[in-house]
Amino acid sequence: MRYFVDISFNGKNYHGWQIQPDALSIQEVLERTFSTFFRAEIKVAGAGRTDTGVHASQMVAHFDMNTEIEDMNEVIFRLNSFLPKDIAILDIYPVIDEAHARFDAIEREYQYGILFDKDPFRVDVAYQIHQMPDIEIMNQAAQLLLGHQDFQCFSRSNTDVKTYYCDVKEASWEYEDYFLIFTIAADRFLRNMVRAIVGTLLDVGHGKITIEEFQEIIKSKDRTKAGASAPAHGLFLTRVEYPETIYK
């Protein structure tokens, strides 16, 4: 039987989602914990790869079991007692056998948080800057991201993707309680894409480039023309959506 699992984690102590040699990852911790708990080798496949230091309030993954999980609440409680404090299981639910956490996702949402004052409670989960950018002009520039287009200019170089096209559904900034949040949703994201977009939009907000130049950067498909990537610790994967047809 195949199950989806909703996970949240603080990525500070991990080298991203994907298993890699000589570095601790979220996937490695989950597979080790699940295998120990279920007394069988369990492989976990995620909805995507988060970079080192990136967080998630909702990551989705799938795993297979030979037997049915009967008391789901008890299993979730016990798994959480096995896991470290910075990783939590939110839910586990059955899906059809063909369902895939990565390939069946139809939309993903990220949020990026920015602080302007020193805050010891948010220091690990938000990027602190000292000058307030022009939020209105950043929102105008963000609207240029909407729709299906090539985002190679915001992608990490030498990736193995077949296409740089993404369909961005939402991109906006909101300021509330001394906290600036950028929300972006799309069918898919390229590696480093959100952080590169945030860094470039901050350049717009600080007057380093114009909205017209931002549009030319998108058209250029050249990563060297875009701004520096914002730090990883301000980024959260916040939502992954699937078609109703995968659920049992």
Residue 225: count of CB within 10 angstroms of its CB: 15
Residue 232, C-beta contacts closer than 8 angstroms, at least 6 positions apart: 11, 51, 52, 53, 54, 195
CATH code 3.30.70.660 for 107-239: yes
**At residue 150, what is the residue type?**
D
What pLDDT sits at residue 156? Answer: 87
Residue closest to 84 by CA, chosen among 134, 152, 136, 13:
13
What pLDDT sits at residue 157? Answer: 79
Q: What share of the chain is helix, strand, coil (3-state, %, to 5)?
A: 30, 30, 40
What pLDDT sits at residue 103? Answer: 97
Give the distance from CA 53 to its chain's centroid.
Answer: 11
What pLDDT sits at residue 2? Answer: 97
One fold for both 2-103 and 107-239? yes
Retrieve residue 102's tokens: 């990565």
Contact 59, 8 (CB under 8 A): yes
Under CATH, which architecture does the 2-103 domain have?
A: 2-Layer Sandwich (3.30)
Q: Is 71 among the catalytic positions?
A: no
Classify 55 as helix, strand or coil: strand
What pLDDT sits at residue 3? Answer: 98
What global pTM score does this model have? Answer: 0.95
- Chunked into runs of 10 residues, the chain (248 residues) has average pLDDT values of 98 95 96 96 96 97 95 97 98 97 98 94 94 97 97 87 95 93 97 97 98 97 96 98 96
What are the sequence ranges of the domains in the chain? 2-103, 107-239
Please pick, among 6, 51, 104, 203, the residue that the annotation labels catalytic: 51
